[in-house]
Structure 1
Amino acid sequence: MNRNEEQKEAPEILEAQGTTVSEGGGLPALSQQALTALTDAQNIAAQWLGTNSNTLNAIERLTATIDEETDKLEGRMQVDFDSFSERKNRGLLELTRAMRLTQGVEFDSRVVAHLTRLRASLVRNQAALQMHLDAVREVSAIIARSIQEVESDGTYSLMGQAGCK
């Protein structure tokens, strides 16, 4: 059946379901029963399209990326921050898109469990990144102090070059 035949049969199907068709032949005036059926159809379509599984997969991939970065930081391995930043941004975009698809669809309890695990991974990752950042600040402060001491001739210091008061 082609698209034109489907459009011609749509008003007849709606009328058979007890739904009235507006006079211009345009959009049907939907009854409450038809709206409920439409919502049910959307839920079935969302499950059929796997939007919940897409969301779960997106959460799992993002969690795996964050856990991998955290493991490298905690293991004091070399970390390619640009690569991880790109992967985390891509994962967040994918998760956002998957979550948009599930709007209006009955929420799956598995998603809550996966999001809770993602949150725990993010907290652990934040702590590891904070520790790494604090270490970088300390090292940079030591280097800055060393450079300052080497460049200073002691003219404006309190003790002076010879230790005078």
Structure 2
Amino acid sequence: MSSLDTDDRVLKVLNRLDAVLDFENTALGTDPDFDVEASNVLKSRCLYELSTLTEAVQPEQMSGRHGEMLVAIRGKLERNTAKVKAHLDAVRKVTDLLRDAAQEAEADGTYTADQFYMREVI
């Protein structure tokens, strides 16, 4: 594959990754129907493709446009990392609230089967 072909493919992957990050960064926290898992698959695929394409290319062979896009994408990835972390923290908190509510509902003053059995004291 020629360096022009590789250059073009790298640019296409960078554009695709840029679009995925923009979409995910916009949707996280605003769109309740947003499919985080599907978006993560797309993002991972782009990052994998990018890493395999750039393994064969020396940094000095990359066009200046790639460098500009990589800087922009790095910023978007940092923002994305913070948003995904906040999303996971929120999911964890809701899960904890639901678990606590279920435990409180179970402990409504009635006895469990284990509480009726005598335990041998040693």
Sort the TM-score into its range (normalised by shorter chain).
0.7 to 0.9
Q: Deviations over 1:46-67 (max 9, x none)?
A: 23xx322221221111121121
User: How many percent of aligned residue pairs carry the same amino acid?
Assistant: 29
Equivalent residues, number? 110
Q: 1:57 aligns with which of 5, 9, 12?
A: 12
Provide structure 2 residue ranges, at least 5 long, that are not aligned to the other structure: 112-122
Structure 1 residue 127: Cα displacement:
1.6
Q: Does 1:46 align with 2:3?
A: yes
Partner of 1:18: none
Match among 43, 51, 62 for residue 96 of structure 1: 51
- Per the TM alignment, residue 124 of structure 1 is displaced from its structure 2 partner at its CA by 1.4
Question: Which residue of the partner structure matches residue 80 of structure 2?
Answer: 125
AA aligned to 2:30 is G
Q: TM-score, normalised by structure 2?
A: 0.75
Q: Deviations over 1:8-42 (max 9, x none)?
A: xxxxxxxxxxxxxxxxxxxxxxxxxxxxxxxxxxx
For residues 98 and 114 of structure 1, the distance between their equivalents in structure 2, rounded to whole angstroms, comes to 15
| Aligned position for 2:93 | 138
Greater RCO (Cα-Cα under 8 Å, separation 6 or more): 2
TM-score with structure 1 setting the length: 0.58
Structure 1 residues 127, 52: closer, same or farther in 2, change over 3 A?
A: same
Matches within 5 A, 1:105-120: 106-120=61-75
